[in-house]
Structure 1
Amino acid sequence: MASRSGSASNSGNLGRTRVGKYELGRTLGEGTFAKVKFARNVETGENVAIKIIDKEKVMKNKMIAQIKREISTMKLIKHPNVIRMYEVMASKTKIYFVLEFVTGGELFDKISSKGRLKEDEARKYFQQLINAVDYCHSRGVYHRDLKPENLLLDANGALKVSDFGLSALPQQVREDGLLHTTCGTPNYVAPEVINNKGYDGAKADLWSCGVILFVLMAGYLPFEDPNLMSLYKKIFKADFTCPPWFSTSAKKLIKRILDPNPATRIKFAEVIENEWFKKGYKAPAFEHADVSLDDVDAIFDESGDSRNLVVERREVGASAPVSMNAFELISTSQGLNLGTLFEKQMV
């Protein structure tokens, strides 16, 4: 579930509930473990999305160190094609991630309206996707659930990857250096993830990027079958055919990405050097502003200092604030889908 959009109104449908300096409004999306609400910073007037996690459903105290480490990494990620996480807050029962609010809708809305994208337009979005995913990999963060719902557009039409990273926690990498948790959306998932023998997170993400490129240009999925086992067989064999309107160079690249053998599959660095990929390529411009992790540390502060915590309250007729227990609280993200993380956590 992402910090997705719609046009935001600052008036009538903003509710009366306040969390810190943010006034919560309508619900933008909802899932098993999280709800995303539109919100407004009452000090600056800025529109944001706030992801609200029910702590009791997802937390085990023994995971705090691993989660804090991963979350801190996510806060440090400032890439033009990844949804930003601005700050994190927590109350006794909830965790609040303050996220960039993206107003352009999902990239795949374009496909449902147009049928498919022209090759040049598909390449532009694919370049931004590869830039974002490769950058996050360089920071040790893997997505593992790249799919249409996680590709949003900002007001300028730039791609923004959401729900990035927290599904692959450090403790899920075993002694062999591979991940061993099956997650993701079946049509977009790499064969090595399905067969449960361990996989490289970067190679699995690249496969998903290849499926996304195919869909952008074709208007349909490369692997599709109503029977799940038949679908898996197609994925294991990379049983797909590129439509005739794909250029020869695009076909070659997609076939190298959708190689069912991860050992011989093309790597991100090779994709970036590929002639088809490089056409019209613009390297992303990066911000290098300082990022504070004080809020991450504060949420995990075991001293019980309530100054670090927030209370969700109604502006009218609010009940007295509840007391806070800082040790119970967790921290930040970036439009990330914590559902997969906690559904698949290791026992």
Structure 2
Amino acid sequence: MATRSSGGGGKTRVGRYELGRTLGEGSFAKVKFARNVETGENVAIKILDKEKVLKHKMIGQIKREIATMKLIRHPNVIRLYEVMASKTKIYIVMEFVTGGELFDKIASKGRLKEDEARKYFQQLINAVDYCHSRGVCHRDLKPENLLLDASGVLKVSDFGLSALPQQVREDGLLHTKCGTPNYVAPEVINNKGYDGVKADLWSCGVILYVFMAGYLPFEESNLMALYKKILKADFTCPPWFSTSAKKLIKKILDPNPQTRMTFAEVIVNDWFKKGYKPPVFEQENVNLDDVNAIFNESADSSNLVVERRLEQTPAPLSMNAFELISKSQGLNLSTLFEKQMGLVKKETRFTSKRPASEIISKIEETVAPLGFNVRKNNYKLKLAGEKTGRKGNLSVATEIFEVAPSLYMVELRKAEGDTLEFHQFYKNLSVGLKDIVWKTDQEVRAELEAGKGTVSARTGAGKRAVSA
């Protein structure tokens, strides 16, 4: 078992990486911000629980996926650097980009102009087509998986649902229904097997539509009504779309995968080619020794890393100016329920001038009547709902950060359960916490955006931002 010092506070080290805040979590994995203590480089580390992976017989699939993604070197795909393992966990070290989600930009500023939409669409098509050429289908292309780096270059992330060639059955088709409803292709809904390449292109078409329209082509509150629209490709383009853009989108959003446009046809399309800049590739030898080592059951323990906690007095994690500014991407509550964009946020936050211990006590006091149990680990709380919801029990991860002397930021993130139920929970929680909330996330976001230049000038040019 990986060793971990007893006691409360301290930072956690895994190999040469110092782990920071949690960026996201799911059933099998948790993603944490981390820093390479040797180089100072910021990375994101995806942490998988070995026991869960073994229980669901996913070792082979994960090994193939990691090996394939490590071989992919594309300027528009999140880079996978290395893989490590302890006796209980697998650590996947990935590129950490600094520009947030592209769709946050659309949510706050509205639709993109056609030339800008085309630029991002070109990068998206380049990335997905390249991965297809390496045998990887994404299968879950959606807003949350399109990130921007510091230079505004699009990066496709999260190939956690990607299908490798080994998952194709004898009929040459995939049979796993996955993806996000508004972006999913008709043949995936039909559940009769589908070509992952063709299904990915459909999702790209939906994304291009949203780039240019500012809302989804297929949107219904009722899931069956939504599926009916998708199966018929029942949508209309707004009048501000150019004629050539309309034609391209209609050819991509063809409900028949056999007659749907192909990636090769998109790339030579006149609308697509305007201002097109081919990607520049890195020439680099890739070593898969680390991947083979961690999955080699007969390997000696020298291949394993140890997760250890460096002791110090328990205190809330501190957050520097750039990390705080990066949080402004998600600080705006106004987009929480903007169904026209399909942006369902899984986290929110507020600031408080009350002592951290008082904040914790107030949260405990407020969630008890709402039917939630609390597990505490210093300045982290896990709020577990007693009632079973639409997607099981709601679980909310809560963490308190110190952003300045006597100023704390409280982040609440859905860990398990239904996202809309999380929103309702937060609304109820807000009522009970109104006495300790100094500013809501919307107010903080406005101030951060207004003061970003001042902060940058004071603290120097740094890169501390978040990708989920």
What TM-score do the two structures reach when normalised by structure 2?
Answer: 0.63
1:208-263 deviation per Cα after TM superposition (whole angstroms, max 9, x unaligned): 00000000100000000001000000000000000000000000000000000000
Write out aligned runs for 1:323-342 (5 A). none
Gaps of 5+ in 1: 1-13, 318-338, 340-347
State the AA in 1 paired with 2:51.
E
Where does residue 181 of structure 1 map in the other structure? 176
Q: 1:266 aligns with which of 261, 274, 286?
A: 261
Q: 2:241 aligns with which of 223, 233, 246?
A: 246
State the AA in 1 paired with 2:171.
D
State the AA in 2 paired with 1:80.
P
Cα shift at 1:273: 0.2
Cα shift at 1:64: 3.2
Larger gyration radius, structure 1 or structure 2: 2
Equivalent-residue separation in structure 2 for 1:137 and 1:15 (angstroms): 43
Cα shift at 1:122: 0.4
Q: Is the 8 A contact 1:131 1:284 kept in 2?
A: yes
CA separation of 1:15/1:156 partners in 2, compared to 1, >3 Å: closer, same or farther?
Answer: farther
State the AA in 2 paired with 1:191.
P
Q: 2:220 aligns with which of 225, 241, 257?
A: 225
Cα shift at 1:60: 4.4
Cα shift at 1:34: 1.6
Write out aligned runs for 1:179-218 (5 A). 179-218=174-213
Equivalent-residue separation in structure 2 for 1:311 and 1:166 (angstroms): 28
Where does residue 126 of structure 2 map in the other structure? 131
Aligned residue for 2:115, secondary structure, equals helix
1:264-315 deviation per Cα after TM superposition (whole angstroms, max 9, x unaligned): 0000000000000000000000001001001001101222311111111101
Q: 1:310 aligns with which of 264, 287, 305?
A: 305
CA separation of 1:63/1:165 partners in 2, compared to 1, >3 Å: closer, same or farther?
Answer: closer
Cα shift at 1:61: 8.1
Cα shift at 1:36: 1.1
Equivalent-residue separation in structure 1 for 2:69 and 2:121 (angstroms): 22
Aligned residue for 1:277, secondary structure, equals helix
Where does residue 117 of structure 1 map in the other structure? 112
Higher relative contact order (CA 8 A, sep 6+): 1
State the AA in 2 paired with 1:205.
D
Equivalent-residue separation in structure 2 for 1:304 and 1:161 (angstroms): 33
Write out aligned runs for 1:34-73 (5 A). 34-60=29-55, 63-73=58-68
Equivalent-residue separation in structure 2 for 1:143 and 1:162 (angstroms): 9
Cα shift at 1:32: 2.3
Q: After alignment, is 157-166 or 61-70 more displaced? A: 61-70
Where does residue 103 of structure 1 map in the other structure? 98
Greater share of strand residues, 1 or 2?
Answer: 2
Equivalent-residue separation in structure 1 for 2:56 and 2:25 (angstroms): 25
Equivalent-residue separation in structure 2 for 1:31 and 1:66 (angstroms): 18
Equivalent-residue separation in structure 1 for 2:63 and 2:46 (angstroms): 17
Q: Is the 8 A contact 2:140 2:161 kept in 1?
A: no
What TM-score do the two structures reach when normalised by structure 1?
Answer: 0.85
Aligned residue for 1:59, secondary structure, equals helix
Gaps of 5+ in 2: 1-8, 313-415, 417-468
Write out aligned runs for 1:130-169 (5 A). 130-164=125-159, 166-169=161-164
Equivalent-residue separation in structure 2 for 1:280 and 1:301 (angstroms): 47
Q: Is the 8 A contact 1:47 1:101 kept in 2?
A: yes
Equivalent-residue separation in structure 2 for 1:61 and 1:30 (angstroms): 18
Q: After alignment, is 198-207 or 86-95 more displaced? A: 86-95
> How many residues are matched?
305
Where does residue 293 of structure 1 map in the other structure? 288
